[in-house]
Amino acid sequence: MLDLALSILFSSLIFVVFKLYDTYRIQTLYAIIINYLVASSVGMYFYDRKIDLLEIPEKPWFLGTLALGILFILVFNLMAATSQKSGVSVASVATKMSLVIPVIFGLLVYKEELGALKSIGILLALAAVYFASIKEKDVPLKKNSIILPALVFIGSGIIDTSIKYLEETLVPKEEFPLFSAVVFGSAATTGLLFIAIKSFKKRSLPNILTALGGITLGILNYFSIFYLLRALQQENLNSSSVFTINNVAIVMFSTLLGVVLFKERISAKNWLGISLAIISILLVALF
């Protein structure tokens, strides 16, 4: 449970950093790319074996990391577009409700069992994510704007499911740091290619605050994935439990951080979501 708690902590702090990006007018896209470069470097540093770059493409999980890296960049941009066109709450709900996909995958592929109470816990988790995310002045979701949230939902779910599948079938425990580093390196490469193409139209360079923001985010990002992978290795919790607790607790904890650090207002519906989150975590974790 310690690994899962650390993953939740680092993941929640990522939202705090994103909030500070807006406060200090940090160039988000550049910071995201720097973040992936830093996260990849941290992974290489914590890998305690000799690294032969020529051998990495021969790893059975290498192609999976390339796909994940591209997905990381694509889903991030889809989330940004959804936030701008449909509202922040719509993007948040679409992202966190994607926990349904890895849960269903675990049930179908790994034949994981869910008792009645745990099933109720997962259903309450979905309700908790919704109520904890909505705001009083949310932008309503229109029929003609459902494509972006749907893509965010599917993309986030595929990322979580892919991480679980690769961890379960192809990545030895001792290669977790290297695996994480290559995933982030792939995301950074994708981002750099995007910047290179974009620079033909308009050239700009990141400032010092952007670099610092990217470095901070990179460290948090790496350890959020690293400890999530370790949590998935625990025998006392199956993947459905891990993803449910992880996603719901992130919503709950990041909401509380917003209240404490940024004096954000929490509506009655938000508090209902937090209460449901606590109940769902207890049901999933204990049963």
Contact 6, 248 (CB under 8 A): no
Contact 229, 163 (CB under 8 A): yes
This prediction's pTM: 0.78
Residue with tokens 């049930």: 107
At 144, is the pLDDT very low, low, confident or very high (cuts 50, 70, 90)?
very low
Predicted pLDDT of residue 88: 54
For the four alpha carbons of 236, 242, 248 and 251, in that order, the dihedral sign comes to: positive
Contact 51, 174 (CB under 8 A): no
Angle between helices 239-262 and 116-133 (to 10 degrees): 30
Whether residue 216 has pLDDT greater than 90: yes
Rounded distance, CA 185 to CA 282, Å? 36
Q: How far is CA 252 from CA 12, 27, 70, 271, in A?
A: 9, 27, 28, 9
Whether residue 196 has pLDDT greater than 60: yes
DSSP 142: P
Condensed to tens digits (0 to 9), the pLDDT of residues 204-214 reads 778 899 999 99
Whether residue 130 has pLDDT greater than 60: yes
Residue with tokens 């992974």: 43
Q: How far apart are the first and last CA of the chain?
A: 14
Q: Which residue has the higher pLDDT, 94 or 4?
A: 4
Q: How far is CA 206 from CA 16, 30, 201, 210, 222, in A?
A: 21, 6, 16, 6, 21
Condensed to tens digits (0 to 9), the pLDDT of residues 150-163 reads 888 889 889 989 98
With b for 16 or more beta-carbon neighbours within 10 A and e for fewer, the 82-114 pattern comes to bbeebbebbbbbbbbbbbbbbbebbeeeeeeeb
Condensed to tens digits (0 to 9), the pLDDT of residues 20-71 reads 887 888 888 888 889 989 999 988 888 878 888 888 999 999 999 999 989 9
As given in the structure block, the two tokens for residue 78 are 């889809």
Predicted pLDDT of residue 137: 59
Q: How far is CA 254 from CA 11, 18, 52, 164, 257, in A?
A: 9, 11, 39, 23, 5
Contact 62, 203 (CB under 8 A): no
Predicted pLDDT of residue 119: 84
